[in-house]
Amino acid sequence: MEILKALNSLFSNFTPEFIANKPCMLEPEGLFELISKNAEFVLLDIRTEAERKVVSSNLPNSVSIPLHQLFYPENLNKLPKDRLIVVLCHTGERAIAAAIGLLLAGFPKVQVLSGGIAKLSEKTGRDTFKKIGEG
């Protein structure tokens, strides 16, 4: 029942007006701006190791913790509670689940990279799929 109280507390603030502004979503351009301003944030890549082999990234401030291992205490301890955490996966869908979990776990500054690595790659003119063994 504690989880229900936590969910109610979290979602009771999500009015239609609040949701319309997409406060938890960060467009790729917003990520580029954070990087260019040398902002203090963590880019949390929750993709699996196999996914990262297909589409890798070398973005600054990155931490890779697959979603299925994210909520182990030793992995949560790797994340700061005082800085923005931008969560990324391939398309952004799993990142939403991770962001909700992080908010419930006491991380107050969490955003999801809208569209994930796929949209980010599109914005930089790159294909998210590469042949195995390429670059």
Question: CATH no. for residue 34?
Answer: 3.40.250.10
Return the pLDDT at 133.
45
Confidence at residue 107, expressed as pLDDT on a 0 to 100 scale: 92
Give the residues of the chain that fall short of pLDDT 50: 130-135
Within-domain flag for 130:
no
Q: What single string gives the DSSP state of each residue in 36-90?
A: HTT--EEEEE---HHHHHHS----TTEEE--HHHHTSHHHHTTS-SSSEEEEE-S
The pTM assigned to this predicted structure is 0.81
| pLDDT for res 126 | 65
pLDDT at 131: 41
Tally of domains in the chain: 1
Name the residue range of residue 99's domain. 24-123
Question: What pLDDT does 94 receive?
Answer: 93
Q: With respect to residue 118, please indicate whether it lies within any of the assigned structural domains.
A: yes
